[in-house]
Homo-oligomer: A and B are copies of this chain.
Amino acid sequence: MVKHVLNQLLEPDLDLVFHALADPGRRSMVERLSEGPASVSELGLPLAMSLAAVVQHVQVLEASGLVLSHKVGRTRTCRINPAVLRSAEHWITQRRARWERTLDRLGEYLAENEGEGQ
Residues of A at the B interface (CB closer than 8 Å) are 14-15, 18-19, 21-24, 27, 30-31, 33-36, 80, 82, 85-86, 88-89, 91-96, 98-100, 102
Contact = CB atoms under 8 A, between A and B. Distances in A.
Given A96-B86, A96-B89, A22 B19 contact: yes
Contacts of A14: 21-22, 24, 27
A97 B54 CA distance: 25
Given A14-B27, A93-B89, A96-B85, A102 B19 contact: no
Contact of A99 (B19, B82, B92, B96): B82
Contacts of A100: 82
